[in-house]
Amino acid sequence: MNSLNAESWRRAWYRFRRNRLSVFGLGLVLLVLLAAIFAPYLAPYPEDAGSVVKFAQAHRPPCGRFWFGTDEVGRDILSRVIFGSRISLALGVLVLTIAAGVGVPLGLIAGYWGGTAGAVIMRVTDTFLAIPPLVLALAVSAVLPPSFVTTMVAIAFAWWPWYARLVHGEVLSVREEQYVQAAETVGASRWRVAFVEIMPNCLAPVIVKLTLDMGFVILMGAVLSFLGLGVQPPKPAWGTMIAEGRVYLPANWWGVTLPGLAIFVTVMGFNLLGDGLRDVLDVEVERWN
Amino acid sequence: MFRDYLARRVLMMVPTLLGLSLLIFLLSRVMPGDPILLALGPEARPEQVEQLRREMGLDRPLHVQYLRYLQGVLRGDFGRSLRTHRPVAQDLRDFLPATVELTSVAMLFAILIGVPLGVTAAVRRDGMVDHLSRWVALSGVAMPQFWLAILLQLVFGYYLRQLPLIGRGSIVPARITGLYLVDSLVTGDLAAFWNSLRHLVLPAFTLSLATAAQIMRMTRAGMVGQMRRDYVLAARSYGLPYNLVVYRYMLKNAITSTLTIIGLTYGFLLGNCFVVETVFAWPGIAAYGAHAVIYKDFNAVVAVTLVVGVAYAIVNLAIDVLYGFLDPRVRYAPE
């Protein structure tokens, strides 16, 4: 069993590697990940991530000393962008943990139990899906004071139904499989069948969706912080930096352009990686069955 | 038959919208921090607070409050805005047309960009357009719209000085529908039409890009799926011109998947409206809603959220109807 798994992993990696775009995406994601982990060592001026004032060097355009220029109080924008990756990645991971943590079990229960409980769960899910996620997240942000936690709660609140619906659909398609019937016949409990037999077989699409969603959650977090509803200054969230830099346009083009580029590159990386995983896993799913 | 299908689809909207209203209502009632105190300020005396609370019906049980609120909404009464001090319904009437105009033109742009590019990419696979469209599709989805909006303002509004930076324009046509483009055409006011169009271009283009990217991807996939069908081979062996086969026969069959994605992405388009309108100071309900969120103007937030939900539902209904119109199999399928 183990050797077979190792072999299928190697094949999956081979197929993944053949698509240059996927590898490029993986590279971008690794780049952002490394930036987040080693931020204090990579950033030229780590202290600039916080609230520091160096008026003598404010509004410097990109140059040898400050690759991304400096902001209105003289902080190095490159250092802030590097530290900002921590906020973005943390937001993505936390939101998706909550969203999948709530959505996956609900989808499983709705799909496998069915009945009234299932119907109620899916009706509630549909209600949440009846409104664009960003709008729902904005409405939640209105209820809470602006902060990182608010952004996290607001986006997770709008995001879990997508996982419930995805898993619900997957469960419906595997519910009648022989291994499920076998488990039921030998008297396994409903919980065991749902979480031990069915769930692992629904995970491939969930993993792909999680990867793709990392990008979209980071994008939405940037929107909320751009509007002033998320992470507050002096914390170096990318969206907040763009909102601050926008005040000094058109003279200081770097204050907006370069943090935005960081968002763009990160989201692009997760999208490409997700697309690559989808191509690889879809085939794998068929083969495992 | 088609009428039954239509009626069924409309009926299906009702529970969803009721659920949505309940969700938004509950959300507005769990707000930490008292909306009354927020409205009256910290100087208010306890009896004043108590009086306003009774006036607004906040002392009643929750289900009574919900029913009263629902009654109000059905009459078009959304309460007063704490920020503009006007009835929210009046604010909506003033700001809604700008958003309808912006989203409609943006969707039109998205279709005009997405469909031809998707078709060309599919017909000439691995050609230059195909590669180009792949990158456009990737960037369109990954780019933060507020960032793109600012960059476009910078380039076209500031460096090139070709297009206005913000707003809907100062030449306002006589109000009939509130849609400047329509009103100015109806009244024959060409100056207003040209002015409004120039103001619309940048925000609408910004808003359209992500949707255009999705439409392009789906159209390409749909067209590639049609490529090897027998009817295409038959049509071509009759000697029909290739463009006719592509646009008249294949596109008609491929367009259903494009329609689906238009419905799905319309929600994201509405969501993105909140940022695009804010950056371009576009006087629509999304910018109004974004301000309401920042100022904790609750009645306005609830109203805007509901309006967006209804708009989303209506557009998806329209798409489903169109779908049923284009593909008879959908109409007769049992639910």
Residue B145 sits in a domain of what CATH number? 1.10.3720.10
Residue B83: inside a domain:
no
Average pLDDT of A67-71?
90
Q: B39 or A16: whose pLDDT is higher?
A: A16
Of A132, A141, A272, the CB nearest to B271: A132
Q: Measuring CA to CA, which residue among A162, A136, A217 is closest to residue B309?
A: A136
- Structure confidence at residue A288 as a pLDDT band (50, 70, 90): very low
A135 touches chain B (CB under 8 A): yes
Can you list the residues of chain B whose pLDDT is less than 50?
Answer: 335
Of B28, B146, B296, the CB nearest to A223: B146
Is the confidence at residue A204, as pLDDT, over 90?
no
Running DSSP on this structure, what letter comes out for residue A61? P
- At residue A86, what is the residue type? R
Q: Are A220 and A155 in contact (CB under 8 A)?
A: yes
What is the rounded distance in angstroms from the CA atom of residue A158 to the CA atom of residue A147? Answer: 17
Residue B255: inside a domain:
yes
Residue B123: inside a domain:
yes
Q: Which residue do the tokens 């070709």 mark?
A: B162
Structural domain tally of chain B?
1
Residue B47: inside a domain:
no
How many residue pairs from chains A and B have C-beta atoms closer than 8 A? 134
- Structure confidence at residue A279 as a pLDDT band (50, 70, 90): confident
Who contacts A65 (Cβ-Cβ below 8 Å, separation ≥6)? none
Is the confidence at residue A4, as pLDDT, over 70?
no
Report the Cα A287 to chain-centroid distance in Å. Answer: 28
Who contacts B32 (Cβ-Cβ below 8 Å, separation ≥6)? A143, A144
Domains recognised in chain A with CATH numbers: 16-288 (1.10.3720.10)
A64 touches chain B (CB under 8 A): no
Q: Supply the pLDDT for residue A289.
A: 21
Is the confidence at residue A98, as pLDDT, over 70?
yes
DSSP E strands in A27-89: the ranges are none
Q: How many CB atoms lie within 10 A of CB A191?
A: 11
- Structure confidence at residue A3 as a pLDDT band (50, 70, 90): low
- At residue A102, what is the residue type? V
Tell me which of B29, B99, B133, B146 to substitute to probe the interface with A (most A C-beta atoms closer than 10 Å). B146
How many residues appear in chain B?
Answer: 335
Whole-prediction pTM:
0.89
Is the confidence at residue A1, as pLDDT, over 50?
no
Q: Are A70 and A57 in contact (CB under 8 A)?
A: yes
Running DSSP on this structure, what letter comes out for residue A70? B
Q: Supply the pLDDT for residue B150.
A: 94
Q: Which of A 3-32 lie inside 8 A of B, CB atoms?
A: none
**Domain encompassing residue B251:** 97-299
Residue B162: inside a domain:
yes
Who contacts A133 (Cβ-Cβ below 8 Å, separation ≥6)? A155, A158, A159, A220, B267, B271
Q: Which of A153-157, A193-197, B204-208, B276-280 has the lowest mean pLDDT?
A: A193-197
A263 touches chain B (CB under 8 A): yes
Is there a contact between A219 and B289 if contact means CB atoms under 8 Å apart?
Answer: no
Q: Supply the pLDDT for residue B335.
A: 45
Is there a contact between A227 and B294 if contact means CB atoms under 8 Å apart?
Answer: yes
Q: Supply the pLDDT for residue A275.
A: 87
Of B28, B275, B309, the CB nearest to A131: B309
Residue B239: inside a domain:
yes
Residue B35: inside a domain:
no
Residue in chain A closest to B297 (alpha carbons) equals: A142
Residues of A in contact with B292 (CB under 8 A): 142
Q: Supply the pLDDT for residue A5.
A: 73
Who contacts B41 (Cβ-Cβ below 8 Å, separation ≥6)? none
Q: Are B224 and B122 in contact (CB under 8 A)?
A: yes
Average pLDDT of A16-35?
93
Percent of chain A with pLDDT over 90: 53
Q: Which residue do the tokens 């191509």 mark?
A: A279
- At residue A211, what is the residue type? T
Q: Supply the pLDDT for residue A26.
A: 96
Residue B25: inside a domain:
no
Q: Are B174 and B187 in contact (CB under 8 A)?
A: yes
Q: Supply the pLDDT for residue A215.
A: 93
What is the rounded distance in angstroms from the CA atom of residue B312 to the CA atom of residue B305? Answer: 11
Q: Are A29 and A38 in contact (CB under 8 A)?
A: no
Q: What is the pLDDT of residues B160-200, one digit of tens each?
A: 988 888 888 888 888 888 898 888 888 888 888 999 999 99
What is the rounded distance in angstroms from the CA atom of residue B16 to the CA atom of residue B5? Answer: 18
* Tokens read off for B120: 């060309």
Residues of A in contact with B271 (CB under 8 A): 132-135
Q: At what angle do helices A77-112 and A115-129 cross, to 10 degrees?
A: 150
